[in-house]
Amino acid sequence: MNKSDLEETTRFTPRFDEHGLITCVVVDSDDGAVLMLAHMNADALARTRETGEAWFWSRSRKQLWRKGETSGNTLTVVELLVDCDQDALLLKARVGGNRVACHTGRRSCFYRRVPAGTQADAPLAFVG
């Protein structure tokens, strides 16, 4: 499939990387807040589509995991979008449980700001 065909097709043909993974950005479907970034392999993607719940591939544990399986902070799929060249996903989800997505207990995994225009060793700033 050439680039133009890939960008205009209605066929879902996810492009997994050399490790068999595709990047997935997760946002809150209600307010658009970026909650987390994770990776899916073909099995996680298939389970997500089949169940309507977010499944991912843990690169550190080298295993599938359903978000919220132990914490109760599940992600229910509202919409799954694919980017122009089908190598990244955007998952819009409703967060269950305590409405937190990060394993640290925070709403989002993105809770520290990297200061721009400062030296490389400038400390991170906690946000939200």
SS (H, E, C) 54-102: CEEEECCCCEEEECCCCCCCCEEEEEEEECCCCCEEEEEEEECCCCCCC
Q: Is residue 48 part of a domain?
A: yes
pLDDT digits (tens, 9 = 90+) for 3-46: 777 788 899 999 999 999 999 999 999 999 999 999 999 999 99
Structure pTM? 0.90
The more confident residue out of 128 and 31 is 31
Q: Is residue 73 part of a domain?
A: yes
Q: Is residue 8 part of a domain?
A: no
Asked whether residue 2 carries a pLDDT value surpassing 80, the answer given is no
CATH of the domain at 27: 3.10.20.810
The count of C-alpha atoms lying within 13 angstroms of the C-alpha of 52, restricted to the half-sphere facing its C-beta, is 4
Q: Is residue 34 part of a domain?
A: yes
Residues in the chain: 128
Dihedral-angle region of residue 116 (phi above 0 means left; psi in -120 to 50 means alpha; beta otherwise): beta
The residue assigned the tokens 């550190």 is 60
In terms of residue numbers, what domain contains 72?
Answer: 16-98
Q: Is residue 84 part of a domain?
A: yes
Q: Is residue 106 part of a domain?
A: no
Number of compact structural domains in the chain: 1
